[in-house]
Structure 1
Amino acid sequence: MTTEVRKAIQKKQQIVDEIQDKINRAKLMVVFDFTGIDANSMADFRKYIKRKDAEVKVIKNTILYRACTGTPLYDKIDIFKGPSAVIFAYEDIVEAAKTLKEFIKDKETAKVKAGLLTGEYVTPEEIERLASLPSREELLAQLFATMMAPITNFVRTLNAVPQKAVMVLNAIKEKKEKEE
Structure 2
Amino acid sequence: MTTEVRKSIQKKQQIVNEVKEKIDRAKLMVIFDFTGIDANAMADFRKEIRKKDAEIKVIKNTVLYRACNGTELYDKIDIFRGPSAVIFAYEDIVTAAKALKEFLKENESAKVKAGLVEGAYATPEKIEELASLPSREELLAQLFATMMAPVTNFVRVLNAVPQKAVMVLNAIKEEKEKQG
SS at match of 1:74: coil
C-alpha distance in 2 between matches for 1:96 and 1:158: 44
Residue 27 of structure 2 is aligned to residue 51 of structure 1: no
CA drift of 1:105 comes to 1.1
1:1-180 counterparts in 2 under 5 A?
1-180=1-180
C-alpha distance in 2 between matches for 1:158 and 1:108: 56
CA drift of 1:177 comes to 3.0
Cα RMSD of the aligned pairs, angstroms, is 1.0
SS at match of 1:88: strand
Alpha-carbon displacement from aligned partner over 1:49-84 (angstroms, at most 9, x marks no partner): 111111100001111011111111111011001100
CA drift of 1:106 comes to 2.4
Q: Which amino acid aligns with 2:53?
A: D
Structure 2: state its 5+ residue gaps.
none
CA drift of 1:108 comes to 2.1
Alpha-carbon displacement from aligned partner over 1:88-140 (angstroms, at most 9, x marks no partner): 01000111101101111122220000001111111000000000000111111
Alpha-carbon displacement from aligned partner over 1:20-61 (angstroms, at most 9, x marks no partner): 000000011000001111111111111111111111000011
Q: Which amino acid aligns with 1:65?
A: Y
Q: Which amino acid aligns with 2:22?
A: K
Number of residue pairs aligned between Structure 1 and Structure 2: 180
Q: Which amino acid aligns with 1:87?
A: I
Q: Which amino acid aligns with 2:113?
A: K
Q: Which amino acid aligns with 2:139?
A: L
C-alpha distance in 2 between matches for 1:44 and 1:85: 14
Q: Provide the identity percentage.
A: 82
C-alpha distance in 2 between matches for 1:108 and 1:146: 39
C-alpha distance in 1 between matches for 2:53 and 2:12: 26
Q: Which amino acid aligns with 1:79?
A: I
User: TM-score, normalised on structure 1?
Assistant: 0.96
CA drift of 1:179 comes to 3.6
CA drift of 1:9 comes to 1.2
Q: Which amino acid aligns with 1:39?
A: A
SS at match of 2:107: coil
The more displaced of 12-21 and 45-54 is 45-54
**Which 4+ stretches in 1 moved above 4 angstroms?**
none
User: TM-score, normalised on structure 2?
Assistant: 0.96
